[in-house]
Structure 1
Amino acid sequence: MSGGGGLSARLAVPARLDVELTAAPGDVVAVVGPNGAGKTTLVQALAGLHPAAGTVRLGGTDLTPLPPQERHVGVVFQDRRLFPHLSALENVAFGPRTRGVAAGRARAVARDWLDRLGVGALAARRPGELSGGQAQRVAIARALATDPALLLLDEPFTGLDVGVAAALRIELAGHLARYDGVTVLVTHDAIDALTLATTVAVLDGGRLVQTGPPHEVAARPRTEHVARLVGLNVIRDGDRHRAFSPSAVTVSVHVPDDSARHRWPGTVRSAAPHGDAVRLQVHGDHDLIADVTPAATRELGLVPGRRVWLSVKETAITTY
């Protein structure tokens, strides 16, 4: 695959998006954020599928005035958008053919990509005859078959079984490692951001509020959403953030009488198994998560609706 240089984008959609994003060739930018943050709008604007003010420069070329089919961009949509009346082979060959590649050559390219994604034996099947994982592999093959300079993946593992998603994630990681274009990956899963990305970009309210290498964003998240993704509690106090793990939280049903400096009342929202522990979601002035033992859950009656106190020692908190 041939890259087209780095990406430099400055995009604005009234009341929905106002971001500036840069990436170097070979970068995988994971875009994370809560629902409604503007993630899909960003992908559509980069692809030319949503009107936006600003510029999108790819390898020094301004894509803004170009229609989608001339942008040299590959897109994998949440709902795949495969052509239902075409076979998997013809779906993948569609992109090269629209770029002027002869039909025979386009099919050869398509077959090669289907083989690479492990679905070559299904080339003659139509989308309705494919499982979710198989259809997603075809969609990824279709995006890559045009040798795009910019690859846009909008939550490519949504709706897949855990095992299927894990296998596809491993395969995609291999392809992205060899891809010298720019990849923008929209995801709601911390695993994707931490294992596939070179950079994490956090969107909130249509604005970019944090960017950095995955390990830095995970260690020092600046939004509650990202803290939840990586399994941390984060409380903002002015310009400072205080982060602590769920396992550092002590849960009691009475006001704590220990030496913990930080304590908050709240109500248990949910209690679910989490490894060897039970993870509590607690709503209060701060929405927090706490890991407790199954025995403590039974003894304290930690069920939804239960009023509790949470406390954390200063030594367990990282401030940044």
Structure 2
Amino acid sequence: MMRVEVDLPGRVRADVTAEAGEVLVVIGPNGAGKSTLLRAIAGLEPGRVQVGDADWTDLDVPQRRVGYVFQDQSLFPHLSALDNVAFGPRARGRSRADAERVARHWLERFGIADLAGRRPRELSGGQAQRVAIARALATEPEVLLLDEPFSGLDVSVQMALRIELGRHLSDFPGVALLVTHDAIDALTLADRVLVLDDGAVAQVGRPAEVAAEPRTPHVARLVGLNLVADGEEMIAFTPDSVVVSLHEPEGSTRLRWRGTIASLAPHGDAVRLLVHASPDLLADLTPAAAVELGLVPGREVWLSAKATAVSRYAARR
């Protein structure tokens, strides 16, 4: 098991635990403290870190059994793919031949053994990220840290790499923490999801639980839901359950909000509205309805939803 306590005023305050063999996906808005949490585990920021029976708190960075995949890969530009992956085992005292054997094994597992002699500038984004992940795993870390591993990649490359990474994570015996801004990563790779918001832990749970009952607007947006706080209660509902009108709707069974259209954009077969109400809300309607109502940015509208179409749950657990 791993436990990390981080208390950096104005940045992040979190007490996080994870079990060996578990993939903990960390999500939250920009500036929430996600990367800082990973850096604290790696020893690049202060924090108390316990891994199994070992206290890492006072250990220097090289002494920590951590594999780290950075957003920009951070591959050594003067080294080949093979030497990049072999660097970690070599730094831990293995012979050159043994380190290269380990590196070739990992390049083969990621299907890029034929790229062993290429330098980072000769690799595509997806190839470079595979090398970066292979380099992190080649050291046999106890903790694997992945900071936005799919960022900047084409959608098709993201999908392929996500499947590959999921396969490797299922075999990884240590603790894996993956920072992401994509709900697909949380739903497909996570055993548990940790939500950071404004530098604090806002929610922890299994992916389906977090998706069904989001407790922050950021998570609600990620899973495509509207979220309204009502005292000690949260109200969640889908954009397609929202009715858009130019006049205040009638009927006591409806929840209603008034706001200004911020944007309209295609969303599948529908048009999705972002409306600045209290709070901001999403609404889906047909293109024909949008034309008929004369909807344009800046126009005031009423949004409503039937009470039977919303999910209600406690704001905090």
TM-score, normalised to structure 1, is 0.96
1:146 matched to 2:146? The reply is: no
Percentage of matched positions with identical amino acids: 61
1:99 matched to 2:92? The reply is: yes
Which residue is equivalent to 2:75?
Answer: 82
Of 163, 167, 172, the residue aligned with 1:179 is 172
3-state DSSP of counterpart to 2:165: helix
CA distance in 2, matches of 1:209, 1:130: 39
Alignment of 1:34-113 (within 5 A): 34-50=29-45, 52-53=46-47, 55-113=48-106
Which residue is equivalent to 2:255?
Answer: 262
Per-residue CA shift, 1:129-160, capped at 9, x if unaligned? 11111111110000000011100000000000
Per-residue CA shift, 1:234-290, capped at 9, x if unaligned? 111121101111111001122223554211111111222222212111112210111
Per-residue CA shift, 1:66-89, capped at 9, x if unaligned? 111111000000111000011111
Decide which moves more: 265-274 or 147-156.
Answer: 265-274
CA distance in 2, matches of 1:94, 1:116: 17
Instruction: Give the partner amino acid of 2:225.
Output: L
Instruction: Give the partner amino acid of 1:177.
Output: S
1:26 matched to 2:17? The reply is: no
3-state DSSP of counterpart to 1:285: coil
1:115 matched to 2:116? The reply is: no
Shift of 1:302: 2.3
3-state DSSP of counterpart to 1:217: helix
Decide which moves more: 134-143 or 256-265.
Answer: 256-265
Alignment of 1:236-275 (within 5 A): 236-275=229-268
Shift of 1:180: 1.3
Shift of 1:308: 1.1
Which residue is equivalent to 1:221?
Answer: 214
Moved over 4 A (4+): none
3-state DSSP of counterpart to 1:11: strand
RMSD over aligned Cα atoms: 1.0
1:307 matched to 2:300? The reply is: yes
Per-residue CA shift, 1:187-240, capped at 9, x if unaligned? 000000010000000001110011000000100000000000000111111211
Contact 1:259/1:313 (8 A) holds in 2: no
Which residue is equivalent to 1:137?
Answer: 130
Instruction: Give the partner amino acid of 2:259.
Output: G
Per-residue CA shift, 1:280-310, capped at 9, x if unaligned? 1111221011111111122222232222110
Instruction: Report the number of matched residues.
Output: 313
3-state DSSP of counterpart to 1:66: coil
Which residue is equivalent to 1:13?
Answer: 8
1:281 matched to 2:274? The reply is: yes
CA distance in 2, matches of 1:39, 1:170: 23
Shift of 1:171: 0.4
CA distance in 2, matches of 1:42, 1:30: 12
CA distance in 1, matches of 2:197, 2:162: 25
Which residue is equivalent to 1:318?
Answer: 311
Contact 1:260/1:311 (8 A) holds in 2: no
TM-score, normalised to structure 2, is 0.97
3-state DSSP of counterpart to 2:129: helix
3-state DSSP of counterpart to 1:101: coil
Which residue is equivalent to 1:3?
Answer: none
Instruction: Give the partner amino acid of 2:44.
Output: L
